[in-house]
Structures are given as structure tokens and as C-alpha cells.
Structure 1
Amino acid sequence: MAVASYFYPPLAPFACDARLSRGRLVAEPASPTRTEFHRDRDRIVHATAFRRLKHKTQVFVSPEGDHYRTRLTHTIEVAQIARSLARALGLDEDLAETLALAHDLGHTPFGHTGEEALDEVMRAYGGFDHNAQSLRIVTRLERRYAGFDGLNLCWETLEGLVKHNGPLLAADGTPAERYRERGIPVAILDYDAIHPLDLATHASAEAQAAAIADDIAYDAADIDDGLRAGLFTLDDLGAEVPLARAFLDEIRARHPTLEKHREINELTRRVITRLVEDVIGEARDALAALSPASADDVRTAGRTIVQFSPTIRAYDDGIKTFLYANVYRHPRVVPIRRDAAVVIGDLFAAFFDHPRAMPPQWSAGIENLDEARRARRVADYIAGMTDRYALDEHRRLFAHTPDLR
């Protein structure tokens, strides 16, 4: 039975059309009630890795407070923004949302600190990259279905997951700039060898919308969480970020006696609105100039289509520079990051030397693996941990575990 036509909203000609999907690695019968991208979204939401995001750090270690964002709440915010962008641009909302929901599946416990620490201990074995780990999760590590490992997602979803930050290969076939020093992660190359993802082109407009939505959500969320944690003040932010200063002046002129928490909310919602509106305007101008007749025309345009204007890009860079100094490298945060890295390093060393300390489903057959594959198995296990579980495992194996608060 074919999916009813009303499940397919009108799309722009350059949008990804689920009816024209390049398909799945393992062929499956079509659903009579959902489009292919809708099915992918549901598979992400029901994945074990998605549920674990609830207890993985965004910036603050999750036990520190109930009101700070975790990877899950951040992901939901990214999905909301991505869907809004997709609707405004005539894109497939389900695909944009799917990519937003999946974009952080490969993150380790303890946020970027955990990723950096795991990459360090894995340096001799190909390193660790959270985008490549997301691909491993959805193509290998999730084991829910009888007919295949992973989630068997559509080509368009996998392409967007891998390429949402741009092509991985330059036109001459060499690694793109961000991969030039260390090469493209092996997990991506291995999968591309059996199911090519066109690594030298840009991703779809839907994937680009999800990527810029991540930037927008990061800016607003980290401002919000940093303010509520008392790492900086509104006036500190306004003094260094002109966009924030303009918004604060407007808010205080209209609401001179507003409580602090409402003032923070008024600021962050204005930041989101301004950035979203800028992306929509810039993308519409770029699309009008390109006049793409298909999703492939966007992929081969040679540049990112869904992005900030130069003016707002400068503001975005200013926000990120401020947050780097005042949140990620704040004196209260740095010791926690340092201790979190110790936890990851300790766990890797313990499980690499004594793999039977891992649960049976992870240690089974590990004695038959060479050193590199054993290291990758250990990295997969650690990367899948929540903050809480990583600390529990460290307490089980070591006499002293840092208090990450």
C-alpha cells in the first residue's frame, strides 16, 4: 500500500522528496502510514542512544542542576529550530528534524571534554570523532531489529549526518581542510565504501538547516545557562557582544523593572529570533540567485546555502568568543573539565587492559580482536555512557573518583 498523498506536504523543488529517496542499505517494504523520512525520525527517537542523551552533559555536568540543559534538551531545541527553518524554506520538515535529533548521538559523557579525552587516548587507533561515532551508532551499534544492525536509515539521513558541516573531500579527492591533518575518520570511510555518501559534495538544504539550527541553539542556550549559573552577568555580555547590548537596551527601555530571570529569557528569545530570521532571509536570497531545480543542485552548488549573513556571522563569532572565555574556560568550569578528562582516561586504560571488566555484551569475543579493534570496542562502550554511569563505573574500578560539581 502506498503512503497517502496527504502525508507529503508541498515542497520547494530543491527540497529532498521522500518519494525520491535513494533508499536504505537493506531494502525494506514501504510504510502505508509514514514517509521514509518520518520513519527515520521515529527510529531515532526510539533508539537507546537517543534516550541516553538525557543524562549527558551539554556544558554543565548533568547532576549539577535540574534546570541546565543536557544533550537531550539541547537536541530538542535544535530540532524545533531546524523544523522552523525547513518550513520557512519549503524543505522537508521530517528530514530536517531527523537530522537535528540525530546530530549529537555520538557524543561522549561530559560533553566536548569527554570527546577530547577519548580522542586523546584513541590517537594511536584512529582517534575519536563524534560525527563518525553518530554514524557508527545508526549503522552498527544500535541492535534493535532482526534484519540488520543499526537503524538502516535512508541515504539522505546518513548523508546529512556525515556532511552537515560541509563536504569531507575537496574537489581533487583529498580530505577537506578540517580533516587534512588527521584524515577522514575510518568509520566514515568504511561505511562510504559499501554505501557511498558523495563525500565531496555539500549535504542537502535540510542538513544545512539542521547544522545552522545547532549553532543558533548553542548560542542561546549557553548564554542562558551561563547567566543562570552566575558565570557572567547580562552587562558583561552586553559589553562585549553588540547584538546583546542592543537587545538589552530594548528590553530595559520597555520593561525597566523586569526580574532578572525574565530579562534573561527576553534576551535569549530575541537572540534566537534574530538569528533564525537572518538565516531565512540569507537562504532565500541564495536560493533565488542559484535557482536550484533539485536537491542535487543544492548539493553541488559549491557553497553552503543555509547560513548566516556576513553581519550576523560576525555577531555569532563574537558570541562564541565570549562564551569560550566566560563559560567553557571559566575558573569554575575548568577544574570540572580536567577531572572529567581523568575519568575518561582512567576508564579507557582499565577496560583496555582488562576488557572482561566490561559487561558481557561488550567483552564477548574481545580476545580475538587485534589491538586497534579492541581499542575501538572500548571507545564505543565509553562513548555510549551517560555522565552518571561513567562516574559509577569509575567508582567501581577505582578507589577515588572526582566529584564533578
Structure 2
Amino acid sequence: MSNLRVLVVGASIAGPSTAYWLAKAGAKVTVIERFPELRKGGQAIDIRTVGVTTMRKMGDMEAQVQANKAPIEGLAFVRENGRPYGVIGSTGDSDQQSLLSEYEIFRGDLSRILYDKTNDNPNISYVFGEQIASLQHDEKNNGPIKVGFANRLPPAEYDLVVACDGATSRTRALGLGIGLRDHTRRLNIWAAYFSTKHDYVDGSKIGHAYNAAPGKVVAVQTAPEHEGGNRVVVMRMFPRDGKDHTLPFRDAQQAGDEVLKKHVREELDGMGWIVPQLMREDMDAADDFYASEWIQVNPPTLSKGRFTMVGDAGYGGAPGAGTSLALAGGYVLAGELSQSRGDVAAGLKAYEDRIRPIFEDMHKLPPGGVSFMAPQTKWGLALRNFFFAFLARSGLITFMQKVWGRFEGAFASSDKYPLPDYKFDGRL
């Protein structure tokens, strides 16, 4: 099929990277984004495993990522008084990474790099402030999809629609004909992100993390774009006991930012260190505050007719590996479509056959990972702190990271999930 017409929904990481590979394969790609401009904020994210493999196939992208890495060289776990009891650094090995990635970069910076790599491509066009209002498959699910838009774009037909709009994707619901939370699984975790005007780490390139029971985490790191300020991540991790512990969070989220901030403050009440000031002054004043629940997405199929999904929209919830899967998914999708030579259905099946074993493997958590990061009891937290301090001071933390690397997930070595070396000839 010549000049496959593709609509990509979402202009964050999965969207531009998918557009990059589809255009390289010869498709004509339109990327729509519901926000009026490219989102520049966000927390630090990691590129690991298949993400590293894919990044190295994208020209000078690895060099650009290295040049824009987040200014963090280690992570210090601190006590209530702010004194560190253990510090970890990176492994120095991009193919076997630790809790601290060799490629840690702010989400907005990675989005900008990918946007800049694709914006001037004549086969890629971006439309901001637009979203899908309706999506209609053809009667036999093997022809173009009719798409209606909410704002200024006229209705149009596309040979393929790709959802890249996150774990709570509206496009997934439209494309598969399901509910917004169908085929998702609660991890009983939520997180909030914002920037501060105060510098709580004195310009240090060592991030600071503080825990309190039950399951509370606050992490602070230098933010170069906010002179004299920091970026903050607040997390609340609940037991995975079958109960819906994040329902109050979702209710607050529906009520708006002010109610949501109140909920966050209440959940972190009683924490020490700098948390009272963060909650009282910085969070309320932040203009980049946002929060989200962590969920896993695993639909029975990634495609229906000429509709498919890449990244969090199709397989979100692999802790520490979401960015990597977003990068790799677009590469595999374009590669398999290119090999199918016009048979879109065959290409989509091959894409799913290739990517599903990888993301299902990455959905698995390292043994004790969540309970180690956020113990639920004061006794468990004290034991974790003692154990971590011993590992950090003795150097055994490096060994433990290699042990974790033997299991599935973000800690696995990059060669655990080999990807084909697709040949793109621009004739899709």
C-alpha cells in the first residue's frame, strides 16, 4: 500500500517516536494532541532495555539525550531530619542499569527532542488543540476508519489510527468499543508532581528521597529550568490486597486541582523533613502541578480493524519501563507493517506477536520492589532503612541491582529483549 495514511493520537513520547518510524517506512502521518502546545513539564523518566536499543537506531538521538540528561548523579535516602543514611549512584553500564538510569531525562525534554526530530519531516504534520470525537470502523474491519474531530479538523478517513494518548486513553475506548477502565488493573499507587521556587537540596546533583509509613514517598531533585528551584514527586503506595485504595484519590481528581491538592496534603499529613513546607507553600503555588494514578493496561488485543495502540495506551504500567516501551512500540509497529507490504492486518498481528511478550514480561515487578520502596509499617520501614544503609555502605547494593537484573522488568539487561533490525525503504 503506497502512502499509508496514519492518524497518531498524542504528541508526547509514544506519538512522535511512532510517527518517526512510520514516516521512515513511507507513511503519511498526522499527529493530533488535545493540548494547545507541546507539554514541557513532567518528572524525570528513564530510558532502559528496549528503549536504549531503539534510541540507538534513531540517528543522533542518544547524543541528544545525553546532552539533555537530568542533573542527577545519585539518590540519597534521608531520615526525618534530612540526614542521608544511604546513597546510590548509577552502575555506569547503560546495558545493566540500577534504580538510577544512565539515561534519566525530564519528560518534557524527551518530548521536545522527539518533536524536533519529526516536526520538519514533510511526511509528518502536527495539529495541536484537537482530539477525536468519533471513530467508525468499516463494516468488515478491514478498510479505512472514518474519524470525526472535536474542533477544527474536518472528518477524514485513515488507513490506520494509532492511540498514543496514555494509560487512560479515550482513543483506546473508542477504538476497541470498551469503557475507559476496561482491561486495566489497579496497582494501588498514585503520584503527584510539581516544581518549587525554593532549593531544598542546595543545588546538589544528588536527589533526596524520604519515606514514612504507611507507603509514603517524597523525592526532590534540582530543576535547572527553575533557577533556585526543585522538582518534586510525591507518591502514595497502598497494599496490593484486592481493595480499591485509590478511589478517594480518583474522586478528588474528578473534583479539580484544589480538592486534589487537599487530598494529597491529608495523605502526607504527619511526615517530617521539608514535607510540611512543600505541602503548605510550594504545591499550592505551583503552576505545573498534576497527579495521576498508576494502572496497568493489558487488553486482550492491541488492535481492532485498522486501529491499534502504542505505549501506555496499549500496555502501560510497567514500572520504570513505560518510556522504553513507548519508544520500542512505534519501531516494532512500523517495522512489521513495512515487512507486511501493504497487508495491514498481517502487520498489526505481527506487531502484537512481537511486542506482547516483551511488555507482559516488563509488567512483572522485581521481588520485593514495591515493599522495599515504600514499606507499609514503621517496623518495616526501620528494617528497610537499616538494610539499605548496610547495602549502600558495604557496596553490596551494586550486587543487589545485578540480582534484580536477572528478573523481568526495567532492571533487566538491554539484550534480554532483542529487536529485529528492520529495513525501512519508504514504500509503505
More relative contact order in 1 or in 2 (CA 8 Å, sep 6+)?
2
Question: More strand per residue: 1 or 2?
Answer: 2
TM-score (norm 2): 0.24
Question: More helix per residue: 1 or 2?
Answer: 1
